[in-house]
Homo-oligomer: A and B are copies of this chain.
Amino acid sequence: MSGHTHISGAVTKPTEDKQPSRPRNAAGTREQLLKAAAALFARNGYEATTVSQIAQAAGFSANLVTRYFGGKEGLFLAAMETRLNLESTLPGSIDSLGQRLADRIVDRWEREGDADPLLALLRSASSRPAALGDFLEKEATGPLTKALMSWGFSDHQAVDTANAIQSFIVGTVVTRRMLNTGAIAAATGPQLRVWLADVLQRLVDEGATAESPRLPHPSASSDAR
């Protein structure tokens, strides 16, 4: 989150929180900015959302965004990070990984609604921050790949399976939340839980049997195209 990027609409003179009588609370301010950012990025995408809008929605001045997050990109990635939190889903039996992932996805839809970080990520896909690739590797595909290896998958089985799982989840979110069409959009929460858990667990179980490498290993990816 270091490095200062250009902030459109940033004010140049120092300003205080709009409620100056309230004692400063850095953690609370940070959390309110993250919450407003998650909601606005999910609704409008990365490009169409400005730092000023987020600061205003949270009730603070835009220069606090620079101070806490270094700018728009840092704020976006921080808002994704605290809400994705994939790593807490991984510990447990490999036989119920599909169910844990499905529960996490549906819980998040039910709890976060339109502030779902996956929705923010996808609405921002066309004009994403440059650091998004590294972020996804560090926060999503990377931890999942490592977890699969800890359950006995070879390197290539883990990479292939983690990417299949990631693509399937991304496609489900796009279909339900953006295209909003067909059986995936029409399904109730409980129906989705069962279907997602079933497909995800199949991808996990079958991934362990793949015999030869398919996708390039991330460390070799710069040579691969």
- Give chain A's interface residues, CB within 8 Å of chain B: 45, 121-123, 125-126, 128, 132-133, 136-137, 141, 159-160, 163-164, 166-172, 174-175, 178-188, 191-192, 194-195, 198-199, 202-203, 206, 210, 214-218, 221-222, 224-225
Contacts and interface: CB of A to CB of B under 8 A. Distances in A.
Identical copies of this chain, number:
2
Contacts of A202: 202-203, 206
A133 B159 CA distance: 33
A164 B199 contact: yes
Nearest to A202: B206
Contacts of A183: 141, 159, 163, 215-218, 221
A125 B188 CA distance: 21
Contacts of A168: 164, 167-168, 171
B172 A132 contact: no
Nearest to A179: B125
A185 B169 CA distance: 16
B133 A181 contact: yes
B182 A136 contact: yes
A166 B175 contact: yes
B182 A126 contact: no
A160 B206 CA distance: 18
Listed residue (A160, A188, A202) with the most chain B CB atoms within 10 angstroms of its CB: A202
A196 to B, nearest CB: 9
A214 B194 contact: yes
A69 B215 CA distance: 41
A126 B128 contact: no
Contacts of A178: 125-126, 128
Given A168-B167, A168-B168, A174-B170, A215 B203 contact: no
Contacts of A214: 187, 191, 194-195, 198
